Structure 1
Amino acid sequence: MPMPGKNTEEQVKQGTIQTVKAWGDNSLPPTLLATLVTAQHFRPFQPLPMIFPPILLFSTYLNLSGYKAESAGVTSAWSALYMLLASRRKQQFTNKFGVRGVVRGATLALCAANTVGGGVAYAFGRSRED
C-alpha cells in the first residue's frame, strides 16, 4: 500500500489521462477555437476556413446536451482537419511575431490540444444511450 503523500508511476499516468480526458469533455475549448478561427478569417472573409466555427459551436451544443463522447470526437476530428489545412499556409518569419502570428500560433496550439484531448475523451468516453 503506497503512502498517501507519494505518487506512484501508475497514479501519475492515471492522473495525466484523466486530465487530458477532462480537457476533451469540456465545452469551452471548441468555443474558444471557433472564436480564434473567426478572428483570423472573418476580415477579409475567407469562406473555406469559416466552415469550421459553426461545426465547432455545434460540438459545444452536443456537449452541453449530454453527448460528451460524441462531442469530443467531433471536436477532435475537426480540430485536426483545421490544423492540417492551417499548417499548409506558409507564413514569413517576420509575420510570426505580430498579433496575427500570435493568434495563429495560439489557434494551432489549441487545435493540437483539442485533437489529443478529444481523441482521449472519445476513446475512453461512454456514448449516451437512449
Structure 2
Amino acid sequence: MADKPTEEKVKTSAIKSLQTWGENPLPPTILATLITAQHMRPFQALPMVFPPVLLAASYFNVSGYKIDAAGITAAWSGLYLVLAGRRKQRLVQKFGARGIVRGATLALCAVNVAGCGSTYAFGRRKIEEESR
C-alpha cells in the first residue's frame, strides 16, 4: 500500500529540509575539518583562513545565533567554493585520496551555500530571540 501524505510529510518541504541543514552546527565543523585535511600539508596560508571562521560560526550556532551563523557559513562556504573551483585538476588526480576529499569538500560547500543561505534568507529572528 502506498503511504498517504500526512500533514507532517507535506509540511516537510525542500526549503524546510534546507533550513534544517542550515540550523545544524555540524556542517561547518565538518567543512573546516576537510579544508584542514587538504591544506595543512603542505601548509597553504590562504585556505587555512577558512577553518577558524567556520568553527566560530559553529560556535555561534551552538550559542543560539542560528540565523547569523548560517549566514557566515553560507558566505564563507561560497567563497571557498569559488576559490577552490579555480584550481584545475587532471582526471587522474580526481580519483585519488586527495581528489575524493576535494570533491567531498566542494560538494559540502555547495550544500552549505544552499542550506545555510536559505536559513539566513528565510529565518525569522523573532522566533530565534524567543527561544533564548
Same fold (TM over 0.5): yes
Distance 1:17 1:51 in 2: 30
Offset from partner CA, 1:54-110 (integer Å, 9 cap, x none)? 000000010000000000000000000000000000111100000000000000000
User: Is 2:80 the counterpart of 1:82?
Assistant: yes
User: Is 2:28 the counterpart of 1:24?
Assistant: no
Q: How many residues align?
A: 125
1:109 to 104, 107, 116: 107
- In the alignment, which residue of structure 2 is the partner of 1:65? 63
User: Is 2:5 the counterpart of 1:6?
Assistant: yes
Deviation of residue 5 (structure 1)?
Answer: 1.6
2:90 to 89, 92, 116: 92
Output the TM-score relative to the length of structure 1: 0.89
Distance 1:65 1:110 in 2: 23
Secondary structure of 2:64 counterpart: coil
- In the alignment, which residue of structure 2 is the partner of 1:48? 46
What's the % identity of the aligned pairs? 58
Secondary structure of 2:36 counterpart: helix
Deviation of residue 29 (structure 1)?
Answer: 0.2
Give the AA of the match of 1:6: P
Secondary structure of 2:112 counterpart: helix
Unaligned runs of 5+ in 1: none
| Alignment RMSD (CA, Å) | 2.0
Output the TM-score relative to the length of structure 2: 0.88
Deviation of residue 7 (structure 1)?
Answer: 6.3
Deviation of residue 6 (structure 1)?
Answer: 2.9
